[in-house]
Structure 1
Amino acid sequence: MKISQNDLIYFIRLDRDASRRVVEPRHLHPALDIKYSMELLSEFNKEYHDQWIDMLSEEELIAKVVKSGCRIAIIRATSFCFEESLSLSKKLQKNNIITIAIGQQTTQLLKISESLATDSYRYILHGETEIAVRDLIVELTKCDDDNELKSKYFEKFKSNYYHIVEKPEELPLLTFTQQEHRSYPFPFPVRGGFFKKWAYLLSAWGCPHKCDFCTLLVRKSTGDNLRRRSPERVVEDIENLVRQGADFIVIEDDTFFCNRNHLRTICRLIIDKKIKISWMCNARIDEIDEESLALAKEAGLKLVKVGIETGSPRVIEKLGKCKSGTTWLENISTSFKLFEQYEVGAIGLFMVATPGEEIEDFRQTVELLRTINPDYIQVQIFTPYPDIKYYKEVENFVNSEKSFYHYKVPEVKLSKITEYTESEMQNLLYRRFYLNPRYIYRHLRYCWRYYTNASYVRMLTRKLFEKFSDILRIKNYEA
C-alpha cells in the first residue's frame, strides 16, 4: 500500500448535484485549497478535475479517474453535493483507490454515524487543508500499512479537530491557467469595464465575528482567529496574477475590511506600485468607513459583497449579527451612501425565513430594499446547518445524510410566517428589486456597454447553453 511520488494523485472538485438544484446564475470560484495543495505537492504526479467547469456524470467521472490509474483520490465537496461525494468515494474505493475527504462536507460528516463516515472515506481532513493534504500524502509515502495512520487521523476527526493554516505567509504563489482565468467570472456585468480574465486570492484566513447562523459549511476558511499574510506578500500575489494575464481579482477573505491597517496598507502598495487591476471583496456593513473605501476605490475596488440579512432590528439581534439592530440598519444606510458617493458597486445578501421571523419583520426587509441601491441582491433561505445552534431545534426532523443548501427550501420551517412560503418570500424580494424601473435604469446607466459587447453576448449565450445542456444531460442520464 506504500505510496511513492510516481503514483498518481487525483484531485476532484464536485458540483453535479448543485447545478441540478440551482437555476439562478452562480459565481463559480476556483478551489483555492486544492490549488495550494497541488503547488505544495509539486514533486508528486497529479491530475485535477473540476466539476464546476467540466461537468461529468458520476459514471463518466469514475471511468476517467479509474482509467488514470491513480492510487489516491482527494475529493473536495460542499454540503450541497454531500450525497454525491459519499457515492463517488464508495465506488472509487471499490476500485482500490484511497479516498480523502476535504472541503465543507467534512463538517457534515461529523454529524452522521461513525460507521458511515469510515465506510465512505479512508481519510477525512477537517478544516483548512491546504497544508494538511501535503502532510498526509508525505506520511503515506513512509508506511507500508496505513491502518495505524488511518486510526490516528480518524481519532482526530472524531474529536472535532480541524486543521488550520497557522502561517499563511509560507503558502506558495498560485498559478492559474488561461482556461481557469476565463472559467471563473462573476456572472453579471461589473461597473468600470469588461473583464475577461479572473483570478482569486486570500489575504487572510479566519473570521473574528461570531454570527449565530454562520457555518463552516459555506465559509472559505475556519476558526475565529484571524491569520493574515503581510500586505507586501498579498501585493506580490496580486502582481503575480497580473503577470499571468488577470484583469480582475476576487479577494476571498470572509471579511476584507475587518482590519483597516491591513486593508489600507495593501491599497497604498497597489497605488504606489501603479498596479492596474480591478478587484472585489467581501465586507461587513459595519466595517465600511469613508477613508478605507476611498483608498480601496483608488486602488481598483469595483464591487463589494455585503451581508444585509434583513430589515428587522429584532431579527438582526436574534441572529447575533449585531448587538443593536438599530445601529446595524444605520450602518447599512451610511455604507450605501458611501458606495454611491465613491461609485463602488455593492451586492446585498439577504436572508428570509429566519427563526422566529414574523410577517412584520419581512415587511421591514421589503421596505429596506426600497431605500438602498445595491447593484445586485442574493436572497438566501435560512438553513439550519448541522454546526450551528439552530440545528438542535430540527435535528430530529431532518436527515443529516442529505445535502444542505441555503438556496433550496429546508425540510423544517423555523419562521412564524404563514402568509408566504420560503420560496415566495425569496421570489418576492427578487421581483421587487430586479423589476423595479429605477433599478433597470441604474443598471443600464452603469453597464449598458456590456450589452453592446460581442464578446460578452457570446459568453452569456455560451453560459446559458452550457447550463441548460448540463441540466438536460444529467436528467436524461438519471432517467
Structure 2
Amino acid sequence: MRAIFFNSNNQGFHNSLPLGLLIISSYLEEKHHIKCEILDLPMDNDEVKKAIGNLNNNNLLFVGFSTMCNTFPKTLYLASQIKKKFNNIPIVFGGPQASMLPRQIIEHYNFVDIIVVGEAENLLDKLILSIKASRAIESIGLIYNPHFGINQIKNNNPQIVNTADMDLLPEINYNIYPNINDIDEFEIETGRGCPYKCTYCSATKFYQNNYRLKSINKLVSEIINITKQYNTKVFSLMHDNFTYDKRYIKKFCNSLIDSNLNIEWACSTRADCVDKNILELMFRAGCKNIFFGIESGSDYIQKIIQKNLVIKDAIEMINYANLIGIKPTVSFIVGFPQERSEDLIKTINLFLIFRSTRPRFKGIQIHMLSPMSKTELTNKYFSEIKYDGFLSDFSSVRNLTEWEEKEIKNFPEIFSSYYYFPNKNISRQTYILLYWILFYSNRFDNFFRLYYLTLEEGAACLLFDWFSKISIHIKDTSHIKIDESTVPLVADYLKNFVESNLSDNEIKFKLLDVIKFDLWLNYYCRVDNTECFLSKYNYTAEDSEDYLLSLKQDEGLYAYYFNPQNNELKSIKLFLTESNSNNKKRAKIF
C-alpha cells in the first residue's frame, strides 16, 4: 500500500526538511508497511496540473497534507483537484493550520475527509485503521467529514493533544524525501513547545506550552549517525527555544565537545535564555549561528505582546554572541495593533543598529505581523482585521489565483494570516513602505550602515517621518511587493529620501553614490551581468570601523568588478584619459 504526502512547511523561507512528514512516513513504513512518498507543494497552477498528472491511485491508501497558513490556499486548491481525479481516495490534513480550525475547514471544504489535530504520532494507528475500514473511529484529535465512511460518531473532538514522547519517536529514514541531497544544513528536531505565552504566536496554541526536549543521549546519537550516513558536519537543531533549560544545554554542549565530532550547528532561542558563559560553551561545542526573535525595540510593546524581553539586556547578549564568533540572526515584527509611532521608531532604530554592526550578523529580518489563527492577539482583534491584497514575505503564495483570493475574502477566520491589524496611530501605507524598504535593506547594506553612522540616533526618526509623510500620497501600493524585481524601485525611494532630507552636499553625494554601488553590487551585476561600476570613492579600503564615514572623493575613478561565482570584489584605480573614456563607452558599465 502507498501514501502520498505533500509538504507545505515554510515554502519560500529556506530549503528545509519536512521533519514532521518524515517522522510520520518513517513510522508508517516501519509499523504498517505503507510505502510513503513526500512531494513538495506545487506553487502555481501549471505545477499543480503537472503534479496531478503524475499521480496514480494504484494501491494508494490516502493523500496527506501538512498545512501551514502561509501556503494554505495552494494546499486547498491541490487537495480539491486531487479529489476530483480520485474521488474515492481519502484526503487527510494535519499540521498547525488545520489543527487550529478543523471544524471550520471540514464545514467549508467537503473534499477534506479527515483532519489530524495536534501532534500526529500517537494518532497514526487509529488513523490507518479508520481509513482501511472506511469508518470513523471516536478519538480525541481525529476529526471526520460527516460524509466519510459508513458510520457517524457522536464525539468529533477537535481538542489538541500533545503527548508525543520525543525519545519514543521513530528513527527517521531521511531517504524518503527525494530532495535530501539538496539540503545545505541537516535539520534535526530536538524537541517541541515553548513555555512562554507571546500573544501573537501560534506555537503557544499548537503545543499548549508543553515544552519538551529529546534526551541528550538520543540527540547526540542521531547527530553521530547522520554524520556517518550522509557525510555532513553542518546541522540546524530545530526547536523554538533550544536553550530554555540551561542545565540541559550545558550537558549537551559538553557531550558534543567530549565526542570530538567537530560539527557546526545552529539553533533558535530567546536572548534572555542565554548568558555569556552559556554562549562561550555553545561556541566551543560548534554553535555558529543563533536565531533570536526580538520582534520589537520598544519595552512597551514587549510587555503588551507578553514577549517581555529587556531590550538593553537582549542587545548585550546578541552582541556578545557576535563578538565571540556566533553569528546572530535577529528578527523583528512590525504592525502590532497597539504600536505607536515612538514604538515603531525604536524598532527601526534597533534594526539600523544591528544592520550597522560589524562583524556583520548572519541575518537581520523584518516581518509584517500576520493575524495567526486562534492566537490571543487575533482573538482579541478579530472583528477589526482587514484584507487589502498585500502579500508580505510571510506568505509563500506570491500570485493568488481568482479562486484563492475569493476564498480568502469569504473566510477571514480560516485565512486570517492574509489579513492585517489596522492601527489607529500608523497608516497601512506607512507600514507597507517602511517594511518593504527595510526588508530589502540587505541589498543596501553599505547605505544603511553609512546612513546610521552619519545620523545615529536621529536616523530612525527621520526615516519614519519622511516615509509617513509621502505615504499620504500613495493610494495604490500594488507596485510595492516582495519581489526581487522591485529592488531598483527601492533604490529610487532611497535616493529621493536622501535628496529630500540631507542638506550637506558632501554627505548627500556620498550616500547617493553608495546607493548606486549597493544596487550594482547586490542586483545588477547578478541579474544582468553588468560588468563594472565606476565611482570616485574607494569602497574596498575597509581598514577601520568607520571607513565609510571617512570616504573621500579621489582624483580619477575606481573601477569595480564583481565575480558572483566566488563573491569576490576587485577594484582598479583609473585616471581619466582619452583611452579610458573610450573603454568606458565600450564596457557594460553601471
Q: Residue 311 of structure 2 aligns with which residue?
A: 329
Q: How far apart are 1:102 and its partner, in Å?
A: 0.9
Q: 1:122 aligns with which of 93, 113, 116?
A: 113
* Distance across 2 between alignment mates of 1:321 and 1:156: 40
Shift of residue 424 of structure 1?
1.3
Residue 559 of structure 2 is matched in structure 1 by none
1:240 to 1:206, Cα distance in 2 relative to 1, 3 A: same
Q: Deviations over 1:171-208 (max 9, x none)?
A: 122233496444333xxxxxxxxxxxx21112211111
Q: CA deviation at 1:31?
A: 1.4
Does 274-283 or 389-398 show the bigger shift? Answer: 389-398
The residue identity in structure 2 corresponding to 1:122 is: D
1:380 aligned partner, one-letter code: H
Tell me, yes or no, if the aligned pair for 2:288 and 2:326 is still in contact at 8 Å.
yes
Q: Quick check: 1:353–1:415 contact (8 Å CA) kept in 2? A: no
Distance 2:82 2:108 in 1: 16
- Aligned-partner SS, 1:121: coil
Match of 2:217 in 1: 232
Matches of 2:314 and 2:420, distance apart in 1: 31
Matched, 1:64 2:51: no
**Shift, 1:151, TM fit:** 10
Structure 2 residue matching 1:421: 3-state secondary structure: helix
Which residue matches 1:394? 382
Equivalent residues of 2:4, 2:64 under 8 A apart = yes
Aligned: 1:361 with 2:353: no
Q: 8 Å contact 2:102–2:117 — kept in the other structure?
A: no
Q: Match of 1:211, SS?
A: coil
Looking at structure 2, the residues matched to 321 and 29 of structure 1 have their Cα atoms a distance apart, in angstroms, of 27
TM-superposition CA deviations, 1:250-274 (whole Å, max 9, x none): 1111111101111111111111010
Structure 2 residue 368 is matched with structure 1 residue 381? yes
Q: Tell me if the contact between 2:118 and 2:141 (Cα under 8 Å) persists in the aligned partners.
A: no
* Contact kept in structure 2, 1:210 and 1:320, CA below 8 Å: yes
Within 5 A, what are the aligned runs for 1:40-119? 40-43=27-30, 44-51=33-40, 57-94=47-84, 95=86, 96-110=88-102, 112=104, 114-116=106-108, 119=110
CA contact (8 A) 2:198 2:307 kept: yes
Report which stretch shifted further, 42-51 or 224-233. 42-51
1:394-451 Cα deviation digits (max 9, x unpaired)? 346553366454xx6x344246213853321212333556524249999x99xxxxx9
The amino acid of 1:301's aligned partner reads: C
Helix, strand or coil: the match of 1:49? Answer: strand
How far apart, in 2, do the equivalents of 1:53 and 1:455 lie? 32
Contact 1:112 1:400 in 2 (8 A): no
Residue of structure 1 in register with 2:322 after alignment: 340
Task: Please give the alpha-carbon distance, in whole angstroms, between the structure 1 residues aligned to 2:193 and 2:278.
Answer: 21
Take 1:89 and 1:432, find their aligned partners in 2: how far apart are those partners? 37
Structure 1 residues 69-89: Cα deviation after superposition (integer angstroms, max 9, x where no partner): 512111112112222222333
Matches within 5 A, 1:7-406: 7-14=1-8, 26-43=13-30, 44-51=33-40, 57-94=47-84, 95=86, 96-110=88-102, 112=104, 114-116=106-108, 119-141=110-132, 143=133, 145-148=134-137, 153-154=142-143, 159-177=157-175, 180-185=179-184, 198-216=185-203, 222-243=207-228, 244-322=230-308, 328-372=310-354, 373=357, 374-392=361-379, 393-395=381-383, 397=385, 399-400=411-412, 403-405=415-417
The alignment partner of 1:249 has SS state of strand
Structure 1 counterpart of 2:90, one-letter code: I
For residue 384 of structure 1, give the secondary structure of its aligned residue in structure 2.
coil
Tell me the equivalent position of 1:191: none
Higher RCO, Cα 8 Å, sep 6+: 1
* Distance in 2, Cα, partners of 1:166 & 1:122: 24
Give, in whole Å, the separation in 2 of the partners of 1:61 and 1:106.
Answer: 22
What amino acid is the match of 1:394? F
Matched residue of 2:29: which SS?
coil
**Distance in 1, Cα, partners of 2:567 & 2:165:** 40
The SS at the match of 1:66 is: coil
Report how far residue 150 of structure 1 moved: 8.8
Q: Secondary structure at the match of 1:347?
A: strand
Question: How many Å separate the matches in 1 of 2:183 and 2:125?
Answer: 25
Structure exhibiting the larger radius of gyration computed from Cα positions: 2
Distance in 1 separating the partners of 2:140 and 2:314: 49
Taking the aligned partners of 1:156 and 1:293, their CA distance within structure 2 comes to 53
Structure 1 portions without partners, runs of 5+: 1-6, 186-197, 446-450, 458-479
1:224: how far off?
0.8
> Percent same amino acid among aligned pairs?
18
Name the CA distance, whole Å, in 1 between partners of 2:441 and 2:277.
Answer: 33
**Alpha-carbon distance in structure 2 between the residues aligned to 1:120 and 1:175:** 30
Q: 1:321 Cα shift?
A: 0.4
Task: Kindly provide the amino acid, as one letter, of the partner of residue 120 in structure 2.
Answer: T
Number of residue pairs matched by the alignment: 414
How many Å separate the matches in 2 of 1:83 and 1:432? 29
**Contact kept in structure 2, 1:125 and 1:157, CA below 8 Å:** no
Listed one character per residue, the Cα deviations across residues 265-323 of structure 1 (whole Å, up to 9, x for unaligned) are: 1111111010121110101011121111111111111111001111111111111101x
* Structure 1 residues 92 and 431, CA gap change in structure 2 (3 angstroms): closer
1:360 CA displacement = 1.4
Question: 2:8–2:41: 8 Å Cα contact kept in structure 1?
Answer: yes
| CA distance in structure 2 between the partners assigned to 1:415 and 1:384 by the alignment | 17
Distance 1:253 1:150, change over 3 A: closer
* Aligned 8 A contact 2:4 2:36 in 1: yes
Partner-residue secondary structure (3-state), 2:267: strand
The one-letter code matched in structure 1 to 2:102 is L
Which letter maps to 2:283? K
